[in-house]
Amino acid sequence: MRNGRAFTHPAMAQSESTLAPAKINLTLRIFGRRGDGFHELESLVAFAPFGDRLTLWPDGPLDLEVSGATAAGAGPLADNLVLRAARALAARIEGLRLGRFALVKRLPSGAGLGGGSSDAAAALRLIAKVNRLALEDPRIHDAARATGADIPVCLDPRPRIMRGIGEILSAPLVLPRLGILIVHPALALPTGPVFKALGLAPGEQLLARSAARSVSPPASEPDALLAWLAAERNDLEQAAISIAPQVAAALEAIADLPGCRLARMSGSGSACFGLFDSSSAAAAAGRRLTAAHPSWWVRAGLLGS
């Protein structure tokens, strides 16, 4: 037990459980840095069919147990976003039912997959369920924004365009089905140094917004979506590569796999992804990549509706 106490589940309590899926930034445009230091962005966000698993046993004292293959990278228990999100919501709703959480970590940390943010959003979903709160409750969204910039988009994990510093969200989008392969090249890459490597001063603009540019991806055909994605980019990719050349090696390895249609870094890295025509093609590519790089974290699945 990571907090030094035995973790016991209430014998008669009914638990609630949910997936905290990996968040994937299929695109990421950085427009500039605000005066307060935050970066203005625009990103097409989607979610993988795999991730961490969070369970809540309600009505006990607020507590958290962390286990799983990647638990060692989860950081200090007191700083875990699950507890911070729960406390933020409790501060906004008097008498809120909380309880004991068990988090099974499967996503690597420092990967640009939003693992901690997705965990926190999962905690808010579970608390909302046991308290019979609508997920649209503004107090839930306020607690999400107060806890972390990526948490609002993870509350209802469906594809969306995310803007601002993460607080402006489009309606859910429908994406065509594609196979996806996600690769973490055994390197944790914290977000802060990557944004620092981008080199923007407060108030500096990197990219002018174009009112004519379409920011809504085509929803009908995989080829149309892939063509749209190819015209986009991740503006943090070169900044990440400048401090972690392993990212470039991962991108090259993914792009060289049979059937890969697009290779790109997710978020601030270091995880990268490849898109394929089917989940079976992605899985076959994953087996080949794992054989060549057994220390890398590799997962394949289906992206889209």
Interatomic CA distance for residues 18 and 170, integer angstroms: 23
CA 165-187-184 angle, to 5 degrees, is 75
Residues near 32 by Cβ (< 8 Å), separated by ≥ 6?
39, 40, 200, 203, 204, 205, 206, 207
CA 304-279-296 angle, to 5 degrees, is 105
Choose the catalytic residue: 63, 119, 150, 235. Answer: 150
3-state SS, residue 26 = coil
DSSP characters for 49-113? EEEEEEEEEETS-SEEEEESTTGGGG--GGG-HHHHHHHHHHTTSTT---EEEEEE--SPSSSSS
Choose the catalytic residue: 23, 105, 119, 235. Answer: 23
- With beta carbons less than 8 A apart as the criterion, state whether 147 and 88 touch: yes
In the annotation, is 150 catalytic? yes
Exposure string over 4-27, b if 16+ CB within 10 A, otherwise e: eeebeeeeeeeebebbbbbbbbbb
Interatomic CA distance for residues 208 and 211, integer angstroms: 10
Interatomic CA distance for residues 86 and 163, integer angstroms: 25
In the annotation, is 23 catalytic? yes
Active site positions, annotated: 23, 150
